[in-house]
Amino acid sequence: MTATAATPTLRQMERTETLPASDAGIARAAELLREGRLVAFPTETVYGLGGDARNDQAVARIFDAKGRPRFNPLIVHLPDLAAAEGYARFDDRALELARRFWPGPLTLVLPLRAQAGLSPLVTAGLETVALRVPAHPLARALLAAFGGPVAAPSANPSGRVSPTRAAHVLAGLAGRIAAVVDGGPCAVGVESTILSLDGPPRLLRPGGVPAEVLEAALGVPLTHGPVEAGQRPSAPGQLASHYAPAAAVRLNARGAETGEILVGFGPVHGDFTLSASGDPVEAAANLFHILREADRLAGPGGRIAFAPIPDEGLGRAINDRLRRAAAPRG
């Protein structure tokens, strides 16, 4: 009998629990998050699709469930400013805004504390992190019960409108997530305002807190920046920590050429493997760690080759990231 190539893993459909807005419902939601599973929950803006922001697999599952074609960075939700200070560095401006607008529909992009233990998938390998303290009582109860950082994009399939009711969440994601906490309709209905304070204040997305209100609070006009965080030009010397490997990257490699570090997937074995079983969720969870490790092993002027990843489902986001790593850099 001949060995069969690893077939792409078919997504396991799961029964999605609808949890009540009660202590028991919140306790169950927190338990699921601790298991690394996904729970949609109401915030005052829209429903979020939550997963443990420290757990690589949980964060990879968020991208998988939404069918996102790219690893754009996610907002990390926290119960209060004190918890948020564990994950990012707050300067005086950030402290002022946090004290005035949290809890509420304001997300701050701040310098990441790299050793704080967030999955690199949450920040897409950036040195900044988006933090938000939501005001919705159920979101607050869930964050308190869970006791850790929750990564949560809006709880809709990629490219569809954001959900403001549990029924909207189920219409898009039933069978792909463990549970939704039903808290009725969201009050604000538009996403949080995203403000970068990694440098001069920059509005990355208009939202629940008007830009003029932030300008008045800061006493300076906001610049309006690109929403695509990954496009921020990185200062020289920062490349390694952005996980843009210093090594040259070759894609779709069936084997290593002389001097190359090979990163395998499925049947292609290497010095590392993104997933020996060819599981795209596992591969996504490993991606940023392996980019960094392979780069370290390759050394200055080194070369890394990646085995082919099927370009479907989460594989598309993985390939998008690898193509960027392989693109010529100026």
Contacts to Mg ion by CB under 5 A = 154
Q: How many helices (H) and strands (E) does the chain have?
A: 9, 15
Helices 314-326, 56-66: crossing angle, 10 deg rounding: 110
Return the residues of window 227-246 that contact ligand TXA according to CB under 6 A.
227, 229
Q: Does 264 bind ligand TXA (CB under 6 A)?
A: no
Toward ligand TXA, which CB reaches closer, 210 or 267?
210
Q: In what order do the strands lie in the sheet with 272-273?
A: 248-250, 303-306, 260-264, 272-273
Q: Does residue number 79 form part of the binding site for ligand TXA (CB under 6 A)?
A: no
Taking each helix axis from N to C end, the angle separating 280-298 and 314-326, rounded to the nearest 10 degrees, works out to: 20
Torsion region of 295: left, alpha or beta (phi above 0 gives left; psi -120 to 50 gives alpha): alpha
Least Å distance, CB 110 to ligand TXA, is 8
The Cα–Cα gap between 48 and 180 comes to 9
CB under 5 to 8 A by kind: which of Mg ion, ligand TXA, none does 55 bind?
Answer: none
Q: x-or-dash pattern for ligand TXA, window 139-178, by CB under 6 A?
A: -------------xxx------------------------
155 vs 179 by CB, closer to Mg ion: 155
Q: Does 120 bind ligand TXA (CB under 6 A)?
A: no
Residue 298: alpha-carbon gap to chain centroid? 27
3-class secondary-structure state, position 239: coil
Residue 193 Cβ vs ligand TXA, minimum distance, rounded to whole Å: 8
Window contacting ligand TXA (CB under 6 A); options: 38-46, 80-88, 266-274, 317-325:
38-46
β pairing state of 150-151 and 47-52? antiparallel
CB 242, min distance to ligand TXA, A? 11
And the tokens for 79?
A: 């119960």
Binding region for ligand TXA (CB under 6 A) out of 66-74, 87-95, 289-297, 314-322: 66-74
Binding-site string for ligand TXA from residue 186 to residue 205, where x marks contact by CB under 6 A and - marks none: -----xx-x---------xx
Contacts of 241 (CB under 8 A, 6+ apart): 114, 127
* Residue 73 interacting with ligand TXA (CB under 6 A): yes
Q: Which lies closer to Mg ion via its Cβ, residue 95 or residue 167?
A: 167
Burial letters 141-166, b for 16+ CB under 10 A, else e: bbbebbebbbbbbbbbbbeeebbbbb
* Cβ atoms 88, 111 nearer than 8 A: yes
Convert residues 99-118 into a mask of x (bound to ligand TXA by CB under 6 A) and - (unbound). ------x-x-x---------
128 lies in the binding site for ligand TXA (CB under 6 A): yes
Number of residues that bind ligand TXA (CB under 6 A): 28
16 in contact with ligand TXA (CB under 6 A): no
Structure tokens at 194: 């995203």
Q: Using CB under 6 A as the criterion, which residues of the chain lie in contact with ligand TXA when the complex forms?
A: 43, 45-46, 48, 72-75, 105, 107, 109, 123, 126, 128-130, 132, 134, 152-154, 191-192, 194, 204-205, 227, 229
